[in-house]
Amino acid sequence: MRTLKFLLRKEFLQIFRDKLILRMILALPVIQLILLPYAATYEIKNITLSVVDNDHSEYSRKLINNFTSSGYFQLVDYSKTYADALDQVEKDKADLIVEIPKGFERDLIRDNETIVLFAANAISGQTAGLAVAYANTILRDFNNDVRIQWTQQSRLNAIPVIDITSSNWFNPQMDYKLFIVPGVLALLVTLVGFLMASLNIVKEKEIGTIEQLNVSPIKKYQFILSKLIPFWVLGFVVLIIGFIISLILYGIYPEGSFWVGSLFAGIYLIALLGFGLLTSIYADTQQQAMFIAYFFMLIFILLGGLFSPIENMPDWAQYLTYINPVRYLIEAMRMIVLKGSGFWDLRYHFLIVTGFAIVFNGLAIWNYKKTI
Amino acid sequence: MKQLITFIQKEFHHILRDTRSMLVLIGLPIVQLLLFGFAITTEVRNANIAILDNSKDEVTQSIITKIESSQYFDIDRTITSNAQIEKAFKTGKIKLAIVFQQNFQNELSHSNKAQLQIIADATDPNQATTLTNYISSIVRNYQNELNQQKKTPYTIKSEMRMLYNPQLKGAYTSVPGVMGMILLLISAMMTSIAIVREKELGTMEILLVSPMQPGLVVISKVISYFIISLINVATILILSVFVLGLPIEGSLFLLIASTIIYIFCALSLGILISTVTETQQAAMLISLLGLMLPVVMLSGYAYPIANMPTILQILSNMVPAKWYIIIVKNVMIKGIGIELVWKEILILLAMTATFLIISIKRFKIRL
């Protein structure tokens, strides 16, 4: 116990001595948590629109008006031809082309049917999909208005309609920030903890101080603990600061228990740091450790469900996410913060990260050789 | 010149000796591109949903069959009451629930109106909207089939055309994004660490007292990492075209030329990082903790820049990846020539120059 205390004092002193590092560990995540969630929004308000109106009728003008007043679209120009509009898309000036055919109004009233063309820049399928979905909604509403105007008398032979109502639970305002902030925070805590831990032991190797530790009568578990605890504290501090920022800046107050969240993050950090230390033990130089850390971090992040939902992945990728600790933290944070899930709802998550913690740290202790 | 070549050889030996790092440097882009190309998609697949059928009649059955056969959804059949829906949401078992009112079929045929409620887990608002839209359109299609004999009057149909990417492949968005991200992070990280490492280990002093000019010392390092980056570009392009099926519509020469400029920009950012830090740890924190998320989130790859608040739009201009991604999309996918990307190329050149000028000003010849 006394040995551990001395070792810990040494580690903490080392961390606090390097003011630049300490400042970066605290400042970089804080700045990013303050700024980046505002960048993450799919709620599209500025779809740029190029209209080709070949009809110039009352109805075509009304329809265009519905587009511009909807709040989703910004009319950038009226193009004379479809080719001109395509030119606008090519230059990135327009995202969506709406082409109204000649005889639009006449066909609609006389032949009961007409057609409107939507062409979207689909390099980003997501944006294109949303743009076309909004466009169709506007078209449908417009169409309903037209119908009401012309079919008032024949109300009696109405057709059966399935009335679809939809409600959105846990985030009725559909605020993307509620979703992204817990995820970004999870990621920042992970980055800080993992980077610090993965560089630590290898640094002693590179500088040569590890030899002194090796000849001293320290037990392996004491050594690993002395490396683990300081970074655990650091990671936890970042987490708490993150919670405070989410509360003050984004008004995110966890629906569920703060303590369950902290307990989960605490166990998660032990697991993650264990993995970091393992990286550090295997690497020969800091440079190598850093590349390995980068490799794992990126895969963890990509398969963590922060930017794209895990359910949408193919089966093989979903299986890979089961061994990704980051996935569990992001999921658990979102569940606790937004849905108010409790300990029992998260029992499997708890079990799995505890398993990770035991395996990674066990391997770290086992693989750390006191000889060079 | 001979000295420089010897130095480059020395640097290469250094890099090649470290097989683990080499594996990561060359293998990472491959792994990442394949993950992005195949695993990370925004299309809906296998979404878990629950159906609470309070009516259990022919109509509800056939709607359920329609949903089931759409292949987007996996139906969880264990839910039998409203209370269980909330529980299933809380454990994360389902993303969406559909509730049919009682006497669905009767209501539909007698009062012409039957109620179907969609409850979505809006934790992820985007996903919730997409799933709700999918279900709604399946139900609407079914309803249209029901009413086929009675034609709806005054119908405006829409025709959709998806330009450049008719099949809506995710790779069209992700490949330019991955190229922008990997090349920037790897290049910046490599140079920043390599130079700081010499400082930290004290070998920089030896290099500085050697008859080589300090500038050449740095250049020899940069050239070695430049060659590694070129290998990465080659693998990325080959994989994109032959495995992910992306086109190279525009000039390959223009694409590669602008990529080389971009790599120089990233390498000089790395040099800049190494001039402001003293330890590898600090360099690494800046290049990973400081760059990774901003590059992903502000480059226009993950989220459209046009929606961001003004401050972030201004900040995004400082992310080199933003400009490079525009170039790749335009040249590679749209097939546009230099007349529409010269501005972006100029911006990258200006950034490179700025990074280098600041670095030279800060570079201390004496330690």
Residue B233: how many other CB atoms lie within 10 Å: 19
Residues 6+ apart with CB under 8 A from A13: none
pLDDT score of A358: 95
Two structure tokens written together for B323: 């400009």
**CA dist., res. A120 & res. A232, Å (int):** 49
**CA dist., res. A23 & res. A31, Å (int):** 12
**Which string of b and e fits A342-366 if b means at least 16 CB within 10 Å?**
eeebbeebbebbeebbeebbebbbe
This model of the complex carries an ipTM of 0.85
Residue with tokens 């669905």: B104
Summarize pLDDT for B107-121 with one digit per residue, the tens: 888 888 889 999 999
- Using the beta-carbon criterion (under 8 Å), do A339 and B278 form an inter-chain contact? no
Two structure tokens written together for A130: 């949303």
Whether the CB-CB separation of B57 and A307 falls below 8 Å is answered with no
Mark which residues 294-333 of B lie under 8 Å from A by CB. 294, 296-298, 302-304, 306-309, 311-312, 315-316, 326, 329-330, 333
pTM of the model as a whole = 0.86
Question: What's the per-residue H, E or C state across chain A?
Answer: CHHHHHHHHHHHHHHHHCHHHHHHHHHHHHHHHHHHHHCCCCCCCCEEEEEEECCCCHHHHHHHHHHHHCCCEEEEEECCCHHHHHHHHHCCCCCEEEEECCCHHHHHHHCCEEEEEEEEECCCHHHHHHHHHHHHHHHHHHHHHHHHHHHCHHHHHCCCEEEEEEEEECCCCCCHHHHHHHHHHHHHHHHHHHHHHHHHHHHHHHHCCHHHHHHCCCCHHHHHHHHHHHHHHHHHHHHHHHHHHHHHHHCCCCCCCHHHHHHHHHHHHHHHHHHHHHHHHHCCCHHHHHHHHHHHHHHHHHCCCCCCCHHHCCHHHHHHHHCCHHHHHHHHHHHHHHHCCCCCCCHHHHHHHHHHHHHHHHHHHHHCCCCC
Given a cut of 80, whether residue A370 has pLDDT beyond it is: no
pLDDT score of B63: 92
- Using the beta-carbon criterion (under 8 Å), do A176 and B125 form an inter-chain contact? yes
Residue with tokens 């032979």: A157
Greater model confidence, A139 or B153: A139
Contact list in A for residue B198 (CB cut-off 8 A) is: none
Chain B contact probe: residue of A170, A190, A206, A345 with most B CBs at under 10 A: A170
**CA dist., res. B313 & res. B272, Å (int):** 24
Whether the CB-CB separation of B348 and B261 falls below 8 Å is answered with yes
**CA dist., res. A102 & res. A122, Å (int):** 26
Residue B297: which of A39, A163, A283 has the nearest Cβ?
Answer: A39
Given a cut of 70, whether residue A154 has pLDDT beyond it is: no
**CA dist., res. B87 & res. A231, Å (int):** 36
Q: DSSP character for B38?
A: I
**CA dist., res. A90 & res. B328, Å (int):** 13
- Averaged over B34-39, what is the pLDDT? 81
- Using the beta-carbon criterion (under 8 Å), do B163 and A29 form an inter-chain contact? no
Lowest mean pLDDT among A254-258, A314-318, B142-146, B328-332: B142-146
Two structure tokens written together for B88: 């299933």
Whether the CB of B137 is below 8 Å from some CB of chain A: the reply is no
- Using the beta-carbon criterion (under 8 Å), do A311 and B297 form an inter-chain contact? no
**CA dist., res. B3 & res. A353, Å (int):** 54
Whether the CB-CB separation of B267 and B61 falls below 8 Å is answered with no
pLDDT score of A297: 87
How close A169 gets to chain B, by Cα (Å)? 5
- Averaged over A181-210, what is the pLDDT? 88
pLDDT score of B81: 87
Q: How confident is the model at residue A218 (pLDDT cuts 50, 70, 90)?
A: confident
How close A129 gets to chain B, by Cα (Å)? 9
- Using the beta-carbon criterion (under 8 Å), do B153 and A290 form an inter-chain contact? no
- Averaged over B63-70, what is the pLDDT? 90
- Averaged over B205-230, what is the pLDDT? 80
Greater model confidence, B120 or A164: B120
pLDDT score of B366: 52
- Burial label for A287, CB within 10 Å (0-12, 13-18, 19+), is buried
Query: Hey, is A167 helix, strand or coil?
Result: strand
pLDDT score of A116: 93
Contact list in A for residue B40 (CB cut-off 8 A) is: 302, 307-308, 313
Summarize pLDDT for A25-70 with one digit per residue, the tens: 889 999 999 988 888 876 667 889 999 999 999 999 999 999 999 8
Summarize pLDDT for A77-122 with one digit per residue, the tens: 899 999 999 999 988 889 999 999 999 999 888 888 899 999 999 8
Q: Crossing angle for the helix pair B320-328 and B342-362, nearest 10 degrees?
A: 150
Query: Hey, is B160 helix, strand or coil?
Result: strand
**CA dist., res. A122 & res. A133, Å (int):** 13
Q: DSSP character for A173?
A: T
Residue A198 to residues A192, A289, B213, B343, Cα–Cα distance (Å): 10, 6, 35, 41
- Using the beta-carbon criterion (under 8 Å), do B150 and A21 form an inter-chain contact? no
Given a cut of 70, whether residue B149 has pLDDT beyond it is: no
Residues 6+ apart with CB under 8 A from B353: none
Cα dihedral A100, A104, A108, A113 sign = negative
Summarize pLDDT for B242-280 with one digit per residue, the tens: 998 899 999 999 999 999 999 999 999 999 999 888 888
Residues 6+ apart with CB under 8 A from B274: B191, B192, B193, B194, B195, B196, B199, B283, B359
Summarize pLDDT for B274-321 with one digit per residue, the tens: 988 888 888 988 988 889 888 888 998 888 888 889 999 999 999 999
**CA dist., res. B121 & res. A169, Å (int):** 5
Summarize pLDDT for A306-345 with one digit per residue, the tens: 877 888 888 888 899 999 999 999 999 999 998 888 899 9
- Averaged over A344-356, what is the pLDDT? 94
How close A101 gets to chain B, by Cα (Å)? 11
Lowest mean pLDDT among A44-48, A189-193, B53-57: A44-48
pLDDT score of B86: 87
Mean pLDDT of chain B: 87
